[in-house]
Amino acid sequence: MIAEVLLVLAGHSSSLFPTDHNVHPAFRPLLHPGEEQCLEALGRIAFRYRNIKKACTILSRSKSRYVCALCATLNQILKDEYEKLVVDTEAKVLKRDPELVAHRSFVPLSAVRATFAEWDSPLTALETLMDQLQAEKYWQPGPLIDMLLARAETGVHRIADIISRLSVAVQRVWRANCPPSWYTDPLLLLILWHQKILRFWKEPCPLVSLLKRENPSFMWDGHRDHKSQEVAESVTARAGA
């Protein structure tokens, strides 16, 4: 069963979970209630992981280079961290590592559950992020960066770290694709960096509307979020060059 569970965690389908994360009714009489609870918790992690990978595959075909960059970075993070954890766990089982294999003879489901518990919250957050990304037909860089920075403001370190890395990936593409004149044109610099100027411009102004779609809000407020420090400093340096 452990081999089957690890395959499910790696993203493969299984008769254990025919539809979602619920254990197949035929297996329930064979399981202790605690084992069933552990199995369904692991099934929930695997189910969210598959949903995220499926959403990434769809969003990777987006016309938005910013969404594509986000998906490429997320796939790499999952490969380096989550998928590596699945492989490392399987290796420990095969080597009968005492950390997982009790008395070097059997693997408690609770031990596997504890190993993957750290991914409960991150996968939940990433699944909701994918849902939000799919809800919009096309993401402009400004709103996308703002949304990622807002989601990174959380007390869960792993979630904050992952979303911050996604934000940095999008910001790098945004910075690379900004027209050079945006860093040198004095009028545009005034509009970007001096909030008082904006009070004289109403929302129907096409220039203001365009810049707000194309740039994150920290460019307008003069506020340099720590997650955007690298980008903000680079913009300032290029403007003064």
Q: How far is 223 from 122, CA to CA, in rounded Å?
A: 27
Higher pLDDT, 101 or 214: 101
pLDDT by residue (tens digit) across 155-170?
999 999 999 999 999 9
Under 8 Å between Cβ of 86 and 9 = yes
Q: What pLDDT does residue 116 have?
A: 95
Choose the most confident range, by mean pLDDT, from 7-16, 18-27, 177-186, 226-235.
7-16
pLDDT by residue (tens digit) across 26-71?
777 777 888 888 888 999 999 999 999 999 999 999 989 999 999 9
Q: How far is 99 from 111, CA to CA, in rounded Å?
A: 8
19-31: average pLDDT: 74
Name the pLDDT band for 200 (thresholds 50, 70, 90).
very low
Tokens of 59: 């969003």
Higher pLDDT, 135 or 28: 135
Q: How far is 7 from 3, CA to CA, in rounded Å?
A: 6
Q: What pLDDT does residue 21 have?
A: 74
User: CB neighbours of 55 closer than 8 A, spacing ≥ 6?
Assistant: 130, 131, 133, 134
131-152: average pLDDT: 91
pLDDT by residue (tens digit) across 207-236?
445 455 556 666 555 444 444 444 444 433
- Residue type for position 83: E
Q: What pLDDT does residue 233 have?
A: 43
pLDDT > 60? residue 25? yes
pTM (2 decimals)? 0.77
Q: What pLDDT does residue 144 have?
A: 93
- Residue type for position 163: I
Q: CA 14, 19, 22, 23 torsion: positive or negative?
A: negative
